[in-house]
Amino acid sequence: MLLKSPHFSAKSPPETEPLLSRDPLEDGASRFSNGDRDNDLIAVLEKTAEKDIATGYQSLVNDLDTYRISIDDGAMLIIDPQRAFTEGVWMQSIGDGAAIDVKPLIIAFNNCADIINKLYGRMEIMFTRCPFPPDSYGWDDSLGDIIDNRQHYFIKPGNSVLFPPLNGFTEWVKRCIENGKNTLVLGGCTLNSCVRVSSIDTLTFFKDMDLEVVVDLRICGARLQNFSPSAMYEDISAVASAVHQMTAAGIRVAKRVEWI
């Protein structure tokens, strides 16, 4: 359960060579691109969902700020960037339309890869993993050649990174705070479940330690269907509801984080 889940780990391994990322705008794509992908999600929403859905998400993002932080002052946690969500058992469990439904997750993981490729080994970066079967347990293809095979991570069987309580996460955050890193940036998947729950639980747990929790929307993914308004969320989308819940809890939700 606690394999490679550190209480006090070394900094992330050295930086690797640049990796080119998958392009989810190509149906059945296997080609790679390292261009600017800031508008990829909007393009996917316009192509695969109703235009009003893309417009609604664009409006949500436009209301958010860009957050700038020094790599010396913050740490980053990427939630479950595993192949299970883009081609493994989790994706396959969706059934018909799964390849389209996970396109926003592919975009999020590609954006994670862009950032990690630039910062790996230069700052504190950590990951979580869900306990999937072996062929779905590994890193998503966009990250596989960036992340060192000795990289530590936290096992997270449920939605919250704080469970199980001995997975090493709280000790890692305390060490980061002791080293002057008072901001934790979260990304990964999925925005409306694990990222939402983990960010709120983390802020609550460390409320007396002046930890700022930031969610970088650009590196967070959700199923395509969760961008659509739903009566379950009072006619807004699950994604918009998650942003509202995190903001109300005191999380800083940013359209993107710029590391300086």
> Domain 38-259 is of which CATH architecture?
3-Layer(aba) Sandwich (3.40)
Crossing angle (nearest 10°) for helices 51-62 and 238-249:
10
- Helix/strand/coil for 37: coil
Note the pLDDT tens digit of each residue in 18-66.
Answer: 444 456 555 543 333 344 566 899 999 999 888 899 999 999 999 999 9
For residue 23, what pLDDT is reported? 60
Q: In sequence order, what are the residues at sequence separation of 6 or more whose Cβ sits closer than 8 angstroms to the Cβ of residue 208?
A: none
Kindly give the pairing relationship between strand 229-230 and strand 74-79.
unpaired
- What would the pLDDT profile of 202-254 be if each residue is shown by its tens digit? 999 999 999 999 999 999 999 999 999 999 999 999 999 999 999 999 999 99
Taking the model in full, what pTM does it have? 0.88
**Residues 157 and 163 sit within 8 Å (Cβ to Cβ):** yes
Taking CA atoms, 44 is separated from 6, 113, 173, in Å, by: 37, 19, 35
Domains of the chain, residue spans: 38-259
